[in-house]
A and B are shown apart, each in its own frame.
Chain A
Amino acid sequence: MTNDVSTAVEVDLDMIAEQVWSAFLNGGEEETLFADTDSGAGVELAASVAMVGAYEGHLVVSCSHKASRDVASVLFAMEPDEVTPDDVGDALGELANVLGGNVKSVLPSPSQLSLPRVSATAHERWPGTVEVCRTVVRWRDEPYVVTLLSGGPGGSHNAQEA
């Protein structure tokens, strides 16, 4: 992938992330949303979807446990301390699914999107991939790192446990 394409995708990633947070999590109002240059250090969970076809890669969203509970609490309309690990996995996976689907729409087509996968970041690996671009969304004082990866063996979601 050329630098020109990477730059174009990066611009779209910022815009897509903002649209997804606005429509999916903020209801078009309340919390301030902005991208910054935070490294995203401290993220503990990663949800990802694989893209297979004309574009081969992964869309990954990673965040802290607290941040994942915030997402689940909004989507399930519950208090953060009431959500279960299953709720967190479901909500974070759906967030990755929505982000991945919208990112896929600006990438070479046709491609297929996998079902989402959620796991601890310490155990996630995407061998043979390179980072195309990333953005960091800060929402409710927590960073969410959204990363687009390119490459990796085709035909399946190839995240592996270490």
Chain B
Amino acid sequence: MLGIVIDDSRAMRKILRGLLADLGFEVLEAGNGREALDLLQSTGRVPDLALVDWNMPVMTGLEFVIDVRKIAEMRQMTLMMVTTESEHGQIVRALAAGAHEYVIKPFTRDGIIDKLALLGLVPVGVSS
């Protein structure tokens, strides 16, 4: 399984990279949506999962979700927002744009794993 962590905070990328690596993912990183799109298009790789922050410079997470949903080759990628943005309207916008799941920071390790299990990306019960 291939995952990509898209967050402008290096600390957050390190935390999420470690979590995914522990679950057996190979992990890519990008500091914003534009960097992620460029990375994926230059390598031709399509991750099974993208963990996407919302507030980032250059290209926000929402803009990334909207753009990536227009690319036919990437439609199978599961998109999970991992963000501090917790207003109901913003959650609705992200899900309407094509995000599959929404996790609000601060998250717990088990909280992320449970969401991944619901999406079928890790076996149920891994977190316990």
Contact = CB atoms under 8 A, between A and B. Distances in A.
Interface string A67-91: 0000010011100000000110011
Interface residues of A, number: 29
Interface in A86-132: 86-87, 90-91, 93-94, 97-98, 100-102, 104-105, 109-111, 113-115
Contact of A77 (B14, B57, B85, B87): B14
A19 interface: yes
Contacts of A102: 84, 86, 104-106
Contacts of B108: 23, 28
A115 B57 CA distance: 8
Interface string A36-76: 00000000000000000000000000000000000010011
A75 B106 CA distance: 12
Contacts of B106: 19-20, 22-24, 98, 102
Contacts of A23: 106-108
Nearest to B18: A77
Given A23-B106, A87-B10, A110 B86 contact: no
A87 B8 contact: no
Interface string A1-44: 00000000000000000011011100010000000000000000
Interface residues of B, number: 23
Nearest to A23: B106
Contacts of B15: 75
Listed residue (A23, A87, A93) with the most chain B CB atoms within 10 angstroms of its CB: A23
Interface string B92-127: 000000000000111110000000000000000000
Nearest to A27: B109
Given A23-B107, A105-B86, A110-B87, A91 B11 contact: yes
Nearest to A54: B87
Interface string B15-54: 1001000000000000000000000000000000000000
Q: Which 6 A-B pairs have the closest CB atoms?
A: A101-B84, A23-B106, A75-B11, A94-B9, A24-B106, A105-B86
